[in-house]
Amino acid sequence: MAVHFRQVAIVGVGLIGGSLGLVLRREHLADSVVGIGRRIENLQAAVKLGAIDRYVSDPHEGIRDADLVVLATPVESYERHLKHWGTSVKSGAIVTDVGSVKGTLVEEVERLLPEGARFVGAHPIAGKEKSGVSAGSADLFRGARCILTPTQRTDSEALQMIRELWEAAGSIVISLDPFLHDRVLGAVSHLPHVLAFSLINALAEIRERTISELDLLGYSGGGLRDTTRIAASSPEMWRDIFIRNRDNLLVMVEVYERQLQQLKQLIRAGDGPGIEKELERARQVREQLNR
Amino acid sequence: MAVHFRQVAIVGVGLIGGSLGLVLRREHLADSVVGIGRRIENLQAAVKLGAIDRYVSDPHEGIRDADLVVLATPVESYERHLKHWGTSVKSGAIVTDVGSVKGTLVEEVERLLPEGARFVGAHPIAGKEKSGVSAGSADLFRGARCILTPTQRTDSEALQMIRELWEAAGSIVISLDPFLHDRVLGAVSHLPHVLAFSLINALAEIRERTISELDLLGYSGGGLRDTTRIAASSPEMWRDIFIRNRDNLLVMVEVYERQLQQLKQLIRAGDGPGIEKELERARQVREQLNR
């Protein structure tokens, strides 16, 4: 028998929240999926798209009967949300999230929730350069990893149910310590996002100041498009991730700056063998990603 | 009547040279395509794949009867090649290239070629993370831009023939001043490659020094794969591009470093609105690439 919930409340019906709603409804994992959010037009669209059954304007109304509450808003808003409706979470209900940062955030959520609520941190590694429920899909999580970040306080039955939920979505579920999660994702996801946003802003500056003829679209091959795809991601979401994972990220940006500095010096010196050695090293590491 | 050559000599039968050979033979644009290169096994593979009709071990033998010579080797080797067999180029023959850098290189090639040889610089903006003739395809250039870089010395009939050759390959052909070419491509292609190589080397360092558990493949979504695809490109080719376009590239890397520095400071300060503004600016520019 697959995991099943009576009422699921999704707080933040965007790309990820909406896609999870589509999964819950398609796979019949819930009797009812209620949407909670700020923008009525968005919630109406979510109903139309089949991501939620209905929405409520008062969060308490959706939360108090839910046996599963999914937090799918930018991570820095968790505290505000939990302070607003946390007391309405019923005893025994599972609260989970889909945030890209864990670490201290998991501790905060555990502290803010009432006694009896069971929190399980989750991070489906799926996204798109498009945001919003209209970009959502019940297949968004298929074949993607989903990282669960249990702590000593995590209820094992709740953990198992969230695992089954993501497996039903087609994901490969992994467990990781919340702090290790942030270091790993800082490296493979948050750092590349910082760099992609900076690259695009650098290209805009180069275009403004030095090459007015610079037609980014016309002269670039697929390379630039691929390299910067992630720079079209939600500014609101990434703002929060960068702030929340700041300590890891700053260290990693500095490692990167030193690598860039080194390659720059080799180029400045016209050191062919030195450059080739750096590029060959990168090529070999990069090929591991194609395995 | 489409453009047609009696004998085409391709010097350097790799991904680009080999793919052009496949186009020439499939579209019947040449009576005969001769390959010239260092590695016999590679030339034998090129014959087997249909990229060339035959190969010669003595370059002079392939060059002297060619009415089109295609230079498809790393750009820093052009001088060595032209000094070796340049005198064998027959009067009236067209010499072209496929190099990713133009500028002074075009002037050098024009100077090194004998009187009567007609040079047309060309840069098909097509590539892959794989190199070598076995990764080639007659469809590699389809829908891709090809930039021609004529100078005052360029013969207009030769320019027209090279234009028709690339149009026959399915490319969208554009003309650009050789120096402007290097500034534009420096921005949209060479700079992103420098950054992608540096990112991969930074991730390798982070893995070595701080997160031995860092499984780049396991925890990254499609984002990292896309962002760093170009870091698997040929080290030999990119070494030469970086050195040859050094002056433009160093200026652009510095613009980038300042942008990164700025975003880093905002993150360090935890300046939410400031970060969001930077990311929103990037997102808007990036969306132009999807048009």
How far, in Å, CA of B36 to CA of B190, rounded?
27
ipTM score for this prediction: 0.89
Alpha-helical segments (H) within chain A = 15-26, 40-49, 59-63, 78-85, 104-112, 156-168, 178-185, 191-209, 216-219, 222-228, 235-244, 246-268, 272-287
pLDDT of B218: 66
Is the model more confident about A46 or about B1? A46
φ, ψ at A280 (rounded to 5°): -65, -40
Two structure tokens written together for B52: 């060339």
Lowest mean pLDDT among B114-118, B247-251, B282-286: B282-286
pTM score, whole prediction = 0.89
Res A161 pLDDT > 80: yes
CATH of the domain at B88: 3.40.50.720
Tell me if chain A has a CB within 8 Å of the CB of B171: no
User: B174–A235: do the CB atoms touch at under 8 Å?
Assistant: no
Residue A69 pLDDT more than 90?
Answer: yes
Quickly state the pLDDT bin for B213 (edges 50, 70, 90). Answer: low
- What average pLDDT does range B61-84 have in this prediction? 96
Using CA atoms of A132, A136, A141, A145 in order, give the dihedral in degrees to the nearest 10.
-20
* Residue B279 near chain A (CB below 8 Å): yes
Q: What is the CATH number of the domain that holds A207?
A: 1.10.3660.10
pLDDT at A290: 62
Angle between helix B40-49 and helix B15-26 axes, rounded to 10 deg: 30
pLDDT at A212: 74
B4 CB-contact burial (10 Å; exposed 0-12 / middle 13-18 / buried 19+)? middle
Residues facing residue B35 across a β-bridge: B10, B55
Structure tokens at B22: 């496949």
Enter the tokens of residue A245. 């994972």
One domain, residues B54 and B116: yes
pLDDT recorded at residue A229: 83
pLDDT at B258: 97
**Contact between A280 and B174 using a beta-carbon 8 Å cutoff:** no
> Are B151 and B31 found together in one domain?
yes
Of B239, B24, B57, B243, nearest to B138 by C-alpha is B24
**Which pLDDT score is estimated for A225?**
81
DSSP codes joined into one string, B64-92: TT-SEEEE-S-GGGHHHHHHHHGGGSPTT
A134 touching B (Cβ < 8 Å): no
pLDDT of residue A1: 54
Residues A68, A167: one domain? yes
What mean pLDDT do residues B197-215 have? 85
Asked if A269 is an interface residue toward chain B (Cβ–Cβ < 8 A), one would say no
Alpha carbon B282 to its chain centroid, in Å, reads 27
Residues A107, A72: Cα–Cα separation, whole Å: 17
One domain for residues B108 and B202? no
Note down the domain range covering A192. 180-290
Average pLDDT over residues B62-69: 97
What is the tally of structural domains in chain A?
2
Examine the fold and report which residue of B123, B157, B177 is the final residue of a domain before the chain moves on.
B177
Contact assessment for residue A142 and residue A171, using Cβ atoms and an 8 Å cutoff = yes
pLDDT for the residue A67: 97
CB pairs under 8 A between A and B: 316
